[in-house]
Amino acid sequence: MPLFTPDLLKNRITDITMEDLRALGVRGLLLDVDNTLTTHGSQELDPAVRRWLEEMAGRGVALTVVSNGMPRRVEPFAKKLGLRQIAMACKPFPLGFWRGVRRLGLKRRECAAVGDQTFTDIVGSRLAGVRSIQLMPIELERQPTLRFKRMLERRILRRYRRKHGLPDPEETA
């Protein structure tokens, strides 16, 4: 699989189903925080996301947070969810992903990283040897450097959608 291409593409985390995970052979998820579980910098969680996390855990899916965020951001958020976390994961380097896999007690091929950024979450998961599930960001970026990255990501994701016969939200809007 190419370095920039996810194994699965979904709009929101709540769109990921047990069937999706079974098809990928995934038993554990390495979850990003900002623009994946919640909006950037927020400590609040949408009730639908909380229900999804509870359902996944209840069905035996192992969960941990792997984020590039600082501990003061990531630790309280993960604690509210009852999840262990790895802050300052240095994605796209594989070490944070490997630590997450080890923490879950699974094999790399049994885990998937879930995140909204191609150049950190997807590339990092590829380098670490874990599956990848890319989500659309919950909100638009405000920083110029992140907006530029998002422009590049849109091109990559457009190719992915065309290859797999998926609709492009920008063309249908």
Q: What does the pLDDT read at residue 173?
A: 46
Q: What does the pLDDT read at residue 115?
A: 96
Residue ranges and CATH numbers for the domains of the chain are: 8-167 (3.40.50.1000)
Q: What does the pLDDT read at residue 143?
A: 64
Strands (E), 84-173: 85-86, 111-115, 131-135
Residue bearing tokens 């450097």:
145
Question: Would you say 21 and 111 are in contact if contact means Cβ atoms under 8 Å apart?
Answer: no
Parts of the chain with a pLDDT under 70: 1, 141-150, 164, 167-173
Taking phi over 0 as left and psi of -120 to 50 as alpha, with beta for the rest, 64 belongs to beta
Query: Which pTM does this prediction carry?
Result: 0.83
**pLDDT tens-digit readout, 96-137:** 999 999 999 999 999 999 999 998 999 999 999 999 999 988
Sign of the Cα pseudo-torsion (145, 150, 153, 158, in order)? negative
| Angle made by CA atoms 148, 152, 155, in degrees to the nearest 5 | 145
Spatial strand order of the sheet with 131-135 comes to 8-10, 131-135, 111-115, 28-31, 62-66, 85-86
